[in-house]
Structure 1
Amino acid sequence: MTVKERQARILPLFEHLASQTRAQLPVDERDPRLKTIGKLPRGTLFSNFHEEHLKEAEALYEVLYAAKDFEDFIHLAEQARNVVNEGLFVFAVSIAVLHRDDCRGVTVPPIQEVFPDRFIPAETINQAQKADLKRTSDDSIVIKIEQTGNILDSEYKVAYFREDIGINAHHWHWHIVYPTTWRPEVMHKVKDRKGELFYYMHQQMCARYDCERLSTELRRMIPFHDFHQKLEGYAPHLTSLISGLNYASRPTGLSMSDLTEVDVQDMERWRERILDAIHGGFVYDKEGNEVPLDAVHGLDMLGDLLESSYESVNREYYGSLHNWGHVILAQVHDPDGRFKENPGVMSDTSTALRDPIFYRYHRFVDNIFQEYKISLPHYQKKDLDFPGVKVVNVTVNAKVPNVINTFLKESQLELSHGITLKGSVKVSYHHLDHDPFTFSIGVENTSGEVKNATVRVFLGPKYDELGNRILLNEQRRFFIELDKFRATLEPGKTIITHKSSDSAVTIDRTPTFEDLQKGDVVNETNSEFCSCGWPQHMLIPRGNHRGMDFQLFVMLTDWDEDHVGPKTDAFICADAVSYCGAKDDRYPDKKAMGFPFDREITAHGPVDFATPNMSFTDIKIQFKEY
């Protein structure tokens, strides 16, 4: 069976799930392997963070993964579709498709078309359904998206970022590639540096969010820090079509409360135990043995503890600070369930980024990681230098050199695959985008021999919200990775050029249901598309109308020391390798993620910090509304 034929068999599994009836396939008619699932009721919002939800999802995706062949897999998936919770089904089947060898080359359909109600305001979906009922032809109907707030709420200034369909879809797909419950001994595949990737991808999202806040003249976010603090309000304007209930709003002034499954005091206890481990330099495993938090594996171990994933060395003792934090915040309006309300958007990876508290809570989590990073020795010049290699100059080639233009662009999202309609209905929405550009990096190699280099490119704001120059040790946490790639340096002078569209953190575009049905993206090679990656249109922060000052940081390191295996750049699903890793392979860089900004910097500015293989270049990002 060809990849195209397998793709055609899988797509119907993901269509019109919101329209399914609640009736389930009786237990005695199910395949015996599916008899233990179906506990989470249909019509309930599945949470990627809730422990009981995850246990059932784990049981399902492990059964699907273990199916003896593709036909057996389809048989099990089709039965499961009529048994399990709708959201849980998509989560588990997506994991199985991404990791089964006989699904190599098959693409999981875009979550925004599977469940458009997680991305599109309820008001807009209501308009779309009414327009579909009144249709007089088979032509596609286009509905403009409704706004979810106004200028009375200062946070609405960055709604374009929080509600961006691409970044919310990325967050969903990242947790599909790196599920919390992944068991290597069952799945027979190791997720290399999974805990560190959890830290880095979320740290980068927080850095990007603060860049957007500075772009819109907002102060940088205040991290969540107190489990009893009064929380800001938030209204998501989303309605779940599978339940008929709204995603809950959060009135201003509520604070975390105990749930039946976990207490706020548990959260405080877990935080203190993790901080004690960081300050002591070791964690306790399940047998009570001390496991050192060394510079090579320490952060990876902490990531597993904080999330907490299956790889946590001691889940009973260190708990699940990140996951339960999401659940408690999502249920802050109805903690004991007395009103039978839906949870808020924090309960799900495909909606959580819409809520401002997501970023503040993840900055709180990141501050714990930074506490560990501060305990590590500072990088010395020998750790940073690349002998014989000097970056002479760096230019961003755009319409105006070193000036990147951003703007709002219109796109459309098809609703008819996720919602049962008489014909095609599309939602028209605007999102941030930028003009294409290339990096031009002048390098001098005086070593007398060919050098292989890893080129690392970061971008960070130069001034804070008050117009003060940000000191480098503070600025390092706001540098966002734009690219990382390999370059060959001949002896003498070399000009390295690289397109913004080839970034190692982004995916260019997501194939639609229509693309997949036509077979336009079928790929029989190793360059498989896994849907995980930051959207290309959000690579660059918004900037402002005047032209906001940023610094572009370029660093070259020795690729022969950085690479982890055979000298190849061919990895499976490596479109956005910096944030998503290489599926079923080692992370292709020995350096710490975020290097060299991952550790504390004692130098006050670039001049004191930089070695010859680095460059800080002033650029401007100008937002134009056209």
Structure 2
Amino acid sequence: MVLGALEKQLRVLPLFEYASIPTKEKFALKAHRDPKLQGLGVLGRGQLFSLFHAEHLAEATKLYEVLIGAKTFEEFLDLCHQVRDFVNEGLYVYAVSVAILHRPDCKGVSLPPIQEIFPDKFVTVQTLYDAFKEFWQNPHKEEDVIVDMQTTGNILDPEYNLAYYREDIGINAHHWHWHLVYPATWRPEVIGKVKDRKGELFYYMHQQMCARYDCERLSNGMPRMEPFHNFHEPLEGYSSHLSSSINGLPYPSRPDGMTLQDLKEVSVQDLERWRDRISDAIHIGHVEDENGSHVPLDDTRGIDILGAMVEASYESINQAFYGSIHNWGHVISARVLDPDGRYHLNPGVMSDTATSLRDPIFYRWHRFIDNMFQDYKETLPHYNHSDLEFPGIEITKVLLNAEHTNNINTFKEFSMLDLSHAYEFGRDGAVKVRFSHLNHEDFHYKIQVENHTSKTKPATVRIFMAPKYDELGNELDTKNLRRLMIEMDKFHAEIHPGHNTIVRHSKDSSVTISSARSFGQLAHGEGINEHANEYCSCGWPDHLLVPRGDEKGMPFHLFVMLTDWLHDQVGDHGKTGMCTDAVSYCGAKDQLYPDRRPMGFPFDRHIELEHLKDWVLPNMKDTLITVTHHEEIHNHNH
């Protein structure tokens, strides 16, 4: 019997319910365990699983490879049930998720949102206690119990101004899902699928996170962040107010002034040594593989090679020499309070992809990592006229249509998170947390283009945004501006001879995903079918597409560029339509990245001219828009 996507979806959902609680089958005989599962269960239950920790990742890889290798859907489910109660809880959810995203027989099946599987990674511990108290006081009620999210600090900490952003449930869920679609240990020869330009995507997605964070800082009247650069300087403090449901221990708070300490597995000096070796390779223009051969860092593959090396993914060239600076940096900063494990503390939020964006050090660490990539980009030739132009094509006008032309309003809005699939409340009504987050009004771009040739020209439309002024109110020059350019959208359009008007809605952006489908929606079969564009849960949340702006109306560049699609296109793109929802940051699953140009083009390289306006060609247009923030909260019920 062939199961449809809906039946599969309904059989997959229970794998994720109550993931932090052992199931009733816990005491079933170990004798029935499949021999393929030998050697699993190394990372004990109740430990916090970290994708950045080499040993954790090795065990998770073993498990997801076994699950992807299961011959039938039934065997896959059976292995998941067998493994559920003896491997680590977080590792189990990760490996099962990776397998579902990559098994051909799970096409059309969606993962439930990570924030509903492990709400303790997204919701402060005070809020969870409020929910439990509220539930104990209303044991028989059929209606929903709703509690409000508690905050994590106050204005004595200037970084608290950005808590709404760093602690946003959507961006933390995006980061978790991105690392599911791009596992660091992906082995194409085992699984038979190549992850195209994975190293470059690692660089670009995190570069964009940093750019967006700085746009947010400037929106709040704060300076851009200081990159992390000195491995011995005191770190700023941070308290996440999170506590883990799998072991009851908090994610520890970091007081101001702590410094990185050596761990058994890695020392601070290792990180410095790796940084120097990578930096040398960038300046010499090649890396050395295990046999001492030179692999050039040229302008076609260089960034991809470097991205794999810095993340230290499976593709990394000569990992023994260049190390694993990105991943160990996460682990070492998460363990700063208990480096040798004497107090049995959980690691801090930096060790978990679902929580690390909450910590200000994440952005400083990633700006440091990005600076290495930018050093490499500085070694490449600048784009010349012929790299940038699109002969015969001229953008005459760009309008952004919202309530007011060329102005986007942002505001805070309420949403709900259901806790009922993570904790067994044993009641009909749900238990929900109400939280506020930034959002923006809908808008659309209207781009007027003249095609001065006699042929229809297929084009790639590229849209970026960046603040006009720095923290001191000075106009940003191109050197600084290009690193704040956030990609808003990228799509294909046909430009006919003569006058053309391109209209594109903000909801269709190539960087964002529409909102995640909840357990409840998936259980009712909403949006599930094998032929739909598969929803991969990876993508920037739609509500954070636009930076906050400020109350006066903050000026931004809206930069639009048309390039020749015939030069940009890649052979096989679009052949499966799978997971092409948020293709700019997430790629198209198991296909080539759908744009031949470097990611972030044209802002990925140095621009010689100081002012953007002097650099703009006819196929580009730089328009000034404003983003105005309104403090009142809109009610929006999902």
- When the two structures are superposed, what TM-score results if normalisation uses the length of structure 1? 0.99
Judged with a 3 Å threshold, the aligned counterparts in structure 2 of structure 1 residues 570 and 72 are, in CA distance, closer, same or farther, namely closer
Contact 2:572 2:592 in 1 (8 A): no
Shift of 1:29: 3.2
User: Aligned runs of 1:224-263 on 2, under 5 Å?
Assistant: 224-263=228-267
Q: Distance in 2 between matches of 1:259 and 1:515?
A: 44
What is the distance in 1 between the residues matched to 2:6 and 2:470?
Answer: 51
Q: Point out the more displaced range, 21-30 or 266-275.
A: 21-30
Indicate if the aligned counterparts of 2:204 and 2:599 stay in contact, CA closer than 8 A: yes
- 15-24 or 185-194, which moves further after superposition? 15-24
Distance in 1 separating the partners of 2:22 and 2:144: 24
TM-superposed deviation, 1:19: 2.2
Shift of 1:296: 0.3
C-alpha separation in 2, matches of 1:391 and 1:194: 33
- State how 1:222-371 maps to structure 2 within 5 Å: 222-371=226-375
SS of equivalent to 1:17:
coil
C-alpha deviations, 1:384-422, integer Å up to 9, x for none? 000000010100001110000000011000001012213
In structure 1, distance between residues paired with 2:361 and 2:185:
25
Q: CA deviation at 1:431?
A: 0.5
2:361 is the counterpart of 1:386: no
- Tell me the residue number matched to 1:457: 463
Cα deviation code 1:489-528 (max 9, x no counterpart): 0000101000000000000110000011000121211510
SS of 1:484 mapped into structure 2 = strand
- Work out whether residues 542 and 622 of structure 1, in 8 Å CA contact, stay in contact via their aligned partners in 2: yes
Q: Is the 8 A contact 1:27 1:35 kept in 2?
A: no
Residue type matched to 2:457 in 1?
Answer: K
Moved more, 517-526 or 14-23: 14-23
* Cα deviation, residue 25, structure 1: 6.0
Residue identity in the other structure for 2:21: S
Q: Summarize deviations over 1:193-220 as a string: whole Å, max 9, x none.
A: 0000000000000000000000001110
CA distance in 2, matches of 1:410, 1:569: 38
CA distance, structure 2, for counterparts of residue 138 and residue 19 of structure 1: 24
Q: Secondary structure, in 3 states, of the residue corresponding to 1:249?
A: coil
Q: CA 1:445/1:56 → structure 2, altered by over 3 Å: closer, same or farther?
A: same
Structure 2 residue aligned with 1:41: 44
Match of 2:253, as an amino acid? S
2:110 aligned partner: 107
Alignment pair present for 1:78 and 2:81: yes
Aligned partners of 2:572 and 2:591 also within 8 Å = no
Asked if the contact 1:18/1:242 (under 8 Å) is kept, the reply is yes
CA RMSD after TM alignment:
1.1
By how many angstroms is 1:161 displaced?
A: 0.5
1:444 is aligned to 450
Q: 1:317 to 1:516 in 2, by over 3 A?
A: same
Aligned to 1:443, the other structure's residue is in SS state strand
- Match of 2:320, SS state, is helix
Give the letter for the 1:449 counterpart. Answer: K
On the 8 A contact 1:24/1:83 being kept in 2, the answer is no
Q: Separation in 2 of the partners of 1:567 and 1:359?
A: 32
TM-score by length of 2: 0.97
CA drift at 1:575? 0.3
Deviation at 1:569, TM superposition (A): 7.8
**More off after superposition, 602-611 vs 575-584:** 602-611
* Contact 2:573 2:594 (8 Å CA) reproduced: no
Q: In the alignment, residue 203 of structure 1 is paired with which amino acid?
A: Q
Displacement of 1:607: 2.3
For 1:91, the aligned partner's letter is Y
3-state DSSP of counterpart to 1:19: coil
Gapped runs of 5+ residues in structure 2?
Answer: 633-638
Quote the Cα distance in structure 2 between the aligned partners of 1:625 and 1:268.
Answer: 44
Matched, 1:421 2:425: yes
CA 1:564–1:226 in structure 2 vs 1: closer, same or farther (change >3 Å)? same
Cα separation, 2, equivalents of 1:268 and 1:24: 47
1:624 is paired with a residue of what secondary structure? strand
2:46–2:247 contact (8 Å) kept in structure 1? yes
Q: Percent identity, aligned pairs only?
A: 56
**2:621 is matched with which residue?**
615
| Residue in structure 2 matching 1:67, options 70, 74, 83 | 70
Measure, in 2, the Cα distance between the counterparts of 1:465 and 1:177.
36
**Counterpart among 470, 473, 476 of residue 482 in structure 2:** 476
Once structures 1 and 2 are overlaid, which stretch shifts more, 270-279 or 414-423? 414-423
Q: Which residue of 2 aligns with 1:486?
A: 492
Q: 2:93 aligns with which of 87, 90, 94?
A: 90
Question: What are the Cα deviations for residues 10-58 of structure 1, in whole angstroms up to 9, with x where unaligned?
Answer: 1001011222279676653311111210010101100010000000000
Q: CA deviation at 1:570?
A: 5.9
Instruction: Give the match's secondary structure for 2:216.
Output: helix
Alignment of 1:491-502 (within 5 A): 491-502=497-508
Amino acid corresponding to residue 514 of structure 1 in structure 2: G
Match of 1:178 in 2: 182
Paired residue for 2:133, among 106, 123, 130? Answer: 130
Between Structure 1 and Structure 2, how many residues are aligned? 626
Deviations for 1:446-480, whole angstroms, at most 9, x for unmatched residues? 01110000000000000000000000121000010
1:8 counterpart = 2:10: yes
How far apart, CA to CA, are the structure 1 residues paired with 2:314 and 2:113?
A: 27
Q: 1:553 maps to what in 2?
A: 559
8 A Cα contact 1:299 1:369, kept in partner? yes
Instruction: Report the Cα distance in structure 1 between the residues aligned to 2:568 and 2:286, rounded to whole angstroms.
Output: 27
> How far apart, CA to CA, are the structure 1 residues paired with 2:28 and 2:110?
28
SS in 2 for 1:625: strand
Q: Distance in 1 between matches of 2:368 and 2:511?
A: 24
Gaps of 5+ in 1: none
**Distance in 2 of aligned mates of 1:167 and 1:420:** 27
